[in-house]
Structure 1
Amino acid sequence: MGVDYYNILKVNRNASEDDLKKAYKRLAMIWHPDKNPAGKRPEAESKFKQISEAYDVLSDPTKRQIYDLYGEEALKSGQFPPPSTSHYYHHRTNNNTTSFQFNPRDADDIYAEIFGSESGAGGGGGRGYRDGFFRTSNGAGGPEFAGTSSGPGPGLRKAHAVENTLACSLEELYKGFKKKMKISRTVTDSAGKVRILEEILTIEIKPGWKKGTKITFPEKGNQEPGFIPADLVFVVDEKPHALYKRDGNDLVVNQEITLLEALTGKTLDLTTLDGRNLVIPLTDIIKPGAEMVAQNEGMPISKEPGRKGNLRIKFDVKYPSRLTTEQKSDLKRVLGGVSL
């Protein structure tokens, strides 16, 4: 028999489709690589693949029948005696054996199908991947992607690429992050049957990436008869920030200070995009429209790891709306001898 798929999933040989799904969900939640620390990840990846393969075989009537009758080796080699009433197998060979091609499904596709079909039910699997859900259609009926042209491949035309805006906060673009996106796309099998496939893509945003940066997943869009599947493209966009504006690799902040502070000084307290407290003393006289530069406190430069742009502080000096006669007299007395 070789590998015991029933034992891997911890189900009996009469397990129903529902039994298999419940067993898979329980074990996938334990052994999915993303749910394990880095030191345990190699073991988790191996276990996760075993669980996925077991579910793939036992949940497919054809694969399960071959496995039950002839075992793992026959299933994977595709060579075994034909049952007298079989209608499952691809073709018979001249030496009275039946040839079957074993095509295992991708573990991540199975995971996306099981948890995605239940909108996050059954434990953290769905919740962990609900950051985004996109259909890759670009036709009528609510397109969530705008089509862009793509060149044709040899022999087949390639469908237009589909694009979606990926809105990122300035903090996310500063620190970088990974985002799980669940997509739903149509695929056409060799028999011409169209089905909807759900899967999870991991989008990795590098620190310092700019608005307009494109992340392309080749041929992850819809597949139509006679066409190569479309590329799926995510385009980085930048959400407005309450304090900072980005100018290339620099960050710009506008700071309003009073005339008194401009003349006598003060200390600025700024919170950086990675949560640090930045203390900047103002000791010189600040003139209206002046700009101060804090070196290496801007955005990371994606092509030069370790380097950052600058933080530019632009000052707006707020003047008093009126002065009393006594205040004017005091200012003349204090500033009368000051050279400008």
Structure 2
Amino acid sequence: MGVDYYNILKVNRNASEDDLKKAYKRLAMIWHPDKNPAGKRPEAESKFKQISEAYDVLSDPTKRQIYDLYGEEALKSGQFPPPSSSRSAAPHQHHYYHRGNHNATSFRFNPRDAEDIYAEIFGSEGGGGGGAGGSGGGGRAYRDGFFRTSNGAGGPEFAGTSSGPGPGLRKANALENNLACSLEELYKGFKKKMKISRSIFDSAGKVRTLEEILTIEIKPGWKKGTKITFPEKGNQEPGVIPADLIFVVDEKPHALYKRDGNDLVVNQEITLLEALTGKNLELTTLDGRNLMIPLTDIIKPGAEMVVPNEGMPISKEPGRKGNLRIKFDVKYPSRLTTEQKSDLKRVLGGVSL
């Protein structure tokens, strides 16, 4: 088969997605190049690439199926016969992966970038509002298309290469940056690529600038204050563990809607005539739908109408949303003619309040 991806990740051939992720995280924390001293950097880079490629293949159902059936060479070349029911399976093959037909013209192996995988696995752990560390004395300013790190005194701040705290080692304070999101983006979710620039030590022990692309994935329904953490993505300094880079979700004001937890609140002004006789209220939702709401009851000043399941998505309960709450302000006429007053008395005189 060539390269044994299962052996690289130290998992068995029935490993689940969760098993693969745990194995990758354990090994990535050991072999990420930034966590190794300069003298061990070439070996770490090689190991880290192997671990990342193994995870890329085994975590993708299509790649894993082809690899299980035909091996690494066929996977990477795209040259393999379509599966046949008469074909006898090798001992390492599993029926679970025998899905669909593959041929050289319908599959091309596109390996994912190792650092993208690392950022996705470790960055997603801060998505629920967690995140290691807090605000520190350092900060990151966005200049010339990059986030640049400073230590608060105007000079560069470097972060270390150790894989964990040890005697005499400290971890640099976490670096927090606001990530301003529109209410539409928080409603639908989105991915944003952020280019950062930081100082690292190369294999010769010299400081150089490394530019990286971080992928920030915002889930539908995330709230202001949610933190997305990229562990140890600060600059490097001997004897100091790199700072975590944290993006904190912030919410831009919206022209129509205001968020209240999982609910959306909208203030709506209607005339006295509409309050008494009704109307069809039309609103555009955050995902672009036209929402028609009939007002059939008499609307009193300060009244509130609740439209279920038209609020913000609830991030921890997929498929569920909060409510849309419409607060009414009834606009009274500034003046009435004598004739209009007489007509109102005639029409409303017998109405019980």
TM-score (norm 1): 0.61
1:66-95 Cα deviation digits (max 9, x unpaired): 999999999999999999999999999999
- What runs of 5+ residues in structure 2 fail to find an aligned partner? 87-93, 132-137
1:225 shift after superposition: 1.5
The verdict on how the C-alpha distance between 1:107 and 1:160 changes in structure 2, with shifts beyond 3 A counting, is same
The verdict on how the C-alpha distance between 1:143 and 1:209 changes in structure 2, with shifts beyond 3 A counting, is farther
1:137 shift after superposition: 3.0
SS of the residue corresponding to residue 187 of structure 1 reads strand
CA contact (8 A) 2:122 2:231 kept: no
The verdict on how the C-alpha distance between 1:144 and 1:248 changes in structure 2, with shifts beyond 3 A counting, is farther
Separation in structure 1 between the aligned mates of residue 249 and residue 206 of structure 2, nearest angstrom = 35
Is 1:42 aligned with 2:49? no
SS of the residue corresponding to residue 42 of structure 2 reads helix
1:226 shift after superposition: 1.2
1:195-250 Cα deviation digits (max 9, x unpaired): 11100000000000000000000011111121111100000000000000000000
Separation in structure 2 between the aligned mates of residue 61 and residue 333 of structure 1, nearest angstrom = 75
The verdict on how the C-alpha distance between 1:235 and 1:7 changes in structure 2, with shifts beyond 3 A counting, is closer
Please show how residues 277-296 of structure 1 align to structure 2 within 5 Å: 277-296=290-309
1:55 shift after superposition: 22
1:132-170 Cα deviation digits (max 9, x unpaired): 632233434499999999995565211111010000000
The verdict on how the C-alpha distance between 1:148 and 1:203 changes in structure 2, with shifts beyond 3 A counting, is farther
Is 1:322 aligned with 2:335? yes
From the CA coordinates, give the structure whose radius of gyration is larger: 1
CA contact (8 A) 2:186 2:218 kept: yes
Separation in structure 2 between the aligned mates of residue 163 and residue 232 of structure 1, nearest angstrom = 6
The verdict on how the C-alpha distance between 1:104 and 1:261 changes in structure 2, with shifts beyond 3 A counting, is closer
Separation in structure 2 between the aligned mates of residue 29 and residue 153 of structure 1, nearest angstrom = 15
Q: Which moved more, 1:80-89 or 1:202-211?
A: 80-89
1:48 shift after superposition: 16
Q: Which moved more, 1:105-114 or 1:289-298?
A: 105-114
Q: Which moved more, 1:251-260 or 1:31-40?
A: 31-40
1:317 shift after superposition: 0.3
The verdict on how the C-alpha distance between 1:144 and 1:283 changes in structure 2, with shifts beyond 3 A counting, is farther
1:19 shift after superposition: 43
1:294 shift after superposition: 0.3
Identity %: 93
Work out which of the residue numbers 142, 147, 156 in structure 2 matches 1:143: 156
The equivalent residue for 2:20 is: 20
SS of the residue corresponding to residue 47 of structure 1 reads helix
Separation in structure 1 between the aligned mates of residue 62 and residue 38 of structure 2, nearest angstrom = 37
The equivalent residue for 1:155 is: 168
Separation in structure 2 between the aligned mates of residue 144 and residue 3 of structure 1, nearest angstrom = 40
CA contact (8 A) 2:236 2:242 kept: yes
SS of the residue corresponding to residue 48 of structure 1 reads helix
Separation in structure 2 between the aligned mates of residue 306 and residue 105 of structure 1, nearest angstrom = 30
The verdict on how the C-alpha distance between 1:257 and 1:94 changes in structure 2, with shifts beyond 3 A counting, is closer
CA contact (8 A) 1:2 1:72 kept: yes
1:284 shift after superposition: 0.3
- Aligned Cα root-mean-square deviation (Å): 17.4
SS of the residue corresponding to residue 263 of structure 1 reads helix
CA contact (8 A) 1:264 1:285 kept: yes
The equivalent residue for 1:237 is: 250
The verdict on how the C-alpha distance between 1:149 and 1:190 changes in structure 2, with shifts beyond 3 A counting, is closer
Which one scores higher on RCO, CA 8 angstroms, separation ≥ 6? 2
The verdict on how the C-alpha distance between 1:280 and 1:43 changes in structure 2, with shifts beyond 3 A counting, is farther
SS of the residue corresponding to residue 342 of structure 2 reads helix
SS of the residue corresponding to residue 329 of structure 1 reads helix
- What runs of 5+ residues in structure 1 fail to find an aligned partner? none
CA contact (8 A) 1:9 1:24 kept: yes
Separation in structure 2 between the aligned mates of residue 249 and residue 121 of structure 1, nearest angstrom = 15
SS of the residue corresponding to residue 55 of structure 1 reads helix
Separation in structure 2 between the aligned mates of residue 111 and residue 104 of structure 1, nearest angstrom = 14
CA contact (8 A) 1:249 1:308 kept: yes
Q: Which moved more, 1:43-52 or 1:308-317?
A: 43-52
The verdict on how the C-alpha distance between 1:327 and 1:199 changes in structure 2, with shifts beyond 3 A counting, is same
CA contact (8 A) 2:232 2:243 kept: yes
TM-score (norm 2): 0.58
The verdict on how the C-alpha distance between 1:36 and 1:268 changes in structure 2, with shifts beyond 3 A counting, is farther
1:257 shift after superposition: 0.2
CA contact (8 A) 2:139 2:150 kept: no
